[in-house]
Amino acid sequence: MNNNSELLDNIRKYEDAKARGESLYLDVDSLIDIAEHYYSEKHLAKALEVIDYAIDLFPGSTLPLCFKARQALNEKNIEKAEAYAAQVEDRTDIEYRYLMVEILLCKGQLEHADMLMEEIYDNAADSEKDECALEIAKVFFDYEYDEKCQKWLNKCADKDSVGYMELKSRYAISKGKFTQGEKFLDKLLDQDPFSATYWTQMASAQFLSNNIDKSLESCDYALAIDSNNVDAIIHKANCLCSLENYDEAIKYYLRYSELVPESELGDMFLGICCSNRDKYQEAIPHLQKAIEKCSPSSDNLLPIYKELAYCYSATKNLPEALNAIDMASMQPESDAAEIRCMRSICYIMNGKDLEAFEMFKQALAIADSDQLLQICIDFSAASIDSQHPDLAYFILHKLYYEEGNELLNDGWGYYALACLQLNKPAEYYTALSNVCQRNPEEAKQVLGSLFPDGTPVEDYINYSNNFFK
């Protein structure tokens, strides 16, 4: 439905009929439009309610059943998705064929899926091949098959179409090519400067490239166009949190929660925000509420349980902290080495030094090579916070100097802090120089509180001359 006023009118009719407990007849496309509107506004429960109503009115109809099947795939329930797909009457419908491809991708049958996509493309009319290739590229992008996505993007002849530039911007940003992604978004905004969606996507790219001020500006443009744009609201809150403007960030997280009460994101970020302010007791109920709102398959459960474990540990409630870690370990995407590192941190924060170091060694023993640095940094940071700078010094000195990792960019801020607390001026200045030159963001985060507010990172060395008198 292209007519936005018609959509809003249908939503009003639907909600009025529902409030009166009456039935309302709308065609299946109108009901799908209402459901997709709710879904875009993060109101999943409302969207599914409309879809169920559509299935009752139009049993066997393709679009409502495909919607339900895709939701089942989001919940990682392939069997349930196949059950919905089996109810579709028209097996020639292109949406049904795309759904079957997505089910194959969820099963890991990439080449079979690509073969079916080739059939769909070959059967498309010449005038529709560009649109078909773009839709296929979107499917592979959504399932993170980058090579296949690029293959189908290359088949698109019109490189200036809106759909092509939209997907290219998303693809570039997902690959960390933020400048390239922003260039595509600039072109899209030239064509549609009043698109809150494009401004919000621009804000996301700028945030990921650590251009926080620009990201805030883009959020404000989006909110000037649509004051209830929930994506812009939460992006702005994240920007404010990154700038440590926690009071303002909390206002936007609360606003997000008011607009999307069923989403866990508002409470999750409120909990993290409170934790960043060292208000761990305030953070815990927000994190617990976020867990209650999560679906069992939510990818947010793991980071929420991790944050909850840290908050319980900081409030000296070790049993609950370990219980939260147990719950984190049960999530499908959890990593055994990271879980052991979390346990080691909780132990050392609660005075269980021997258990902490033993668990830390276990984490190192099973970690991949690309995990070792972060595990050492995380445990060292917790050691310093727990008045064990000697342990942090031992771990990081061994990492950098005995294991030949002097060229690493990360962790030098914690090494500098340990050296400062242990009165090792020569090593402190070396570490400080390294962190200021190689990782100024870490320098500001870890060492910024040692210096007057607003001190540039490049002046940290000069200000340090008073530390060892």
Q: What is the pLDDT of residues 322-375, one digit of tens each?
A: 999 999 999 999 999 999 999 999 999 999 999 999 999 999 999 998 899 999
The CATH superfamily label for domain 158-250 reads Tetratricopeptide repeat domain (1.25.40.10)
Overall average pLDDT of the 378-395 stretch? 96
**pLDDT confidence of 2, banded at 50, 70, 90?**
very low
Inter-CA distances, 105 with 139, 180, 348, Å: 9, 28, 43
User: Tens digits of per-residue pLDDT, 68-122?
Assistant: 999 999 999 999 999 999 999 999 999 999 999 999 999 999 999 999 999 999 9
In angstroms, the CA 108 to CA 435 distance is 42
Q: Phi/psi at 228 (nearest 5 deg)?
A: -105, 20
Helices 353-366 and 369-385, axial angle in degrees (round to 10):
170
In angstroms, the CA 327 to CA 292 distance is 13
In angstroms, the CA 154 to CA 265 distance is 36
**What mean pLDDT value characterizes the chain?**
94
Q: Where in the chain is the domain with CATH 1.25.40.10?
A: 158-250
Using a 10 angstrom Cβ sphere, with 0-12 exposed, 13-18 middle and 19 or more buried, the burial of residue 375 is buried
Dihedral angle, C-alpha 320, 326, 328, 331, nearest 10 °: -150
pLDDT of residue 402: 83
User: Tens digits of per-residue pLDDT, 26-63?
Assistant: 999 999 999 999 998 889 999 999 999 999 999 999 99
pLDDT surpasses 90 at 252:
yes
Asked whether the beta carbons of 271 and 307 are under 8 A apart, the reply is: yes
Asked whether the beta carbons of 443 and 413 are under 8 A apart, the reply is: yes
The pTM (predicted TM-score) of the whole model is 0.84
pLDDT of residue 28: 95
In angstroms, the CA 328 to CA 334 distance is 7
Using a 10 angstrom Cβ sphere, with 0-12 exposed, 13-18 middle and 19 or more buried, the burial of residue 91 is exposed
DSSP 458: G
